[in-house]
Amino acid sequence: MEQKTLFSNLIEHLKEYLSNKMRILLLKSSQKSFYILSSIISNSILALFFTLFLIFTSISLAFFIGEYFDHLYLGFLSVAVLYILIFFILFNNRKKWLEEKITNLLIKKFFMEEEDEQ
């Protein structure tokens, strides 16, 4: 009878241990998920304001170039050509300049908590 009690206590402790381990894993994964989500949201807000800055700066530059050449359409065409050149440069180098950097950043953010603990 006493052996059954020890065995049942052992099983209960094992169940409790596994349950606690699952809770810890769930909390760690949700913490990482929320950390990455908050990072994405904050970076999106920053990107929005940078985009607004870029739009207004581009319009101002287009008006400035247009006044310089006495034709407004030449200013907007110049800015458009500048952006299409930047696009092609980025497109041709996207793996080296963008994809690798973004992948490394996401991996760093995902494993940051474990680095802090060690």
Q: pLDDT digit string (tens) for 40-65? A: 899 899 999 999 999 999 999 999 99
Higher-scoring residue by pLDDT: 9, 77? 77
Higher-scoring residue by pLDDT: 81, 37? 81
Once rounded to an integer, what is the mean pLDDT over residues 6-20?
A: 90
> What confidence score (pLDDT) does residue 37 get?
87
pTM over 0.85: no
Quick one: how many helices (H) and strands (E) in the chain?
5, 0
Cα–Cα distance for residue pair 50/33, rounded to 1 Å:
25
> What confidence score (pLDDT) does residue 113 get?
54
Q: pLDDT digit string (tens) for 28-40? A: 888 888 888 888 8
**Burial category of 46 from C-beta neighbours within 10 Å (exposed 0-12, middle 13-18, buried 19 and up):** exposed
Q: Domain boundaries in the chain?
A: 2-117
Once rounded to an integer, what is the mean pLDDT over residues 54-80?
A: 96
What end-to-end distance do the CA atoms of the chain give, in Å? 45
